[in-house]
Amino acid sequence: MDILTQYVNAVFTVFIVIIFIRILLSWVPSPPTGRVMTALWAFFHESTEWYLRSFRRIVPSVGMFDFSPIVALIALYVGNVVVVRVLEAL
């Protein structure tokens, strides 16, 4: 079970990092040009949009600020802790 717990923890951690990178990329005013940068931009956007979209429905924007990614990161972290503790208890 220890290997499964480490794997699940790693998957959660990678997704948290990807969302954090997406948050940092949201500060860039326009998508970059170039094949590699455009592909990276699209990867971070498309791999997180399905998750963040559900939180945008719940958490409204305040002016020009969107706090839904912060709430999504907190929920993901709590989910990570809960799942890992359940796996450790088995």
The lowest-confidence range among 16-20, 28-32, 61-65, 68-72 is 28-32
Number of domains in the chain: 1
This prediction has a pTM of 0.85
Please give the full DSSP string across the chain, using - where no structure is assigned.
Answer: -HHHHHHHHHHHHHHHHHHHHHHHHTTSSSPPPSHHHHHHHHHHHHHHHHHHHHHHHHS--BTTB--HHHHHHHHHHHHHHHHHHHHHH-
| Domain hosting residue 9, numbered range | 2-89
pLDDT above 90 for 33: no
Please state at what angle helix 35-58 crosses helix 68-89, rounded to 10 degrees.
80
Dist. CA 53–CA 75, nearest whole Å: 14
pLDDT in tens, 35-72: 888 898 889 999 999 999 999 999 888 888 888 999 99
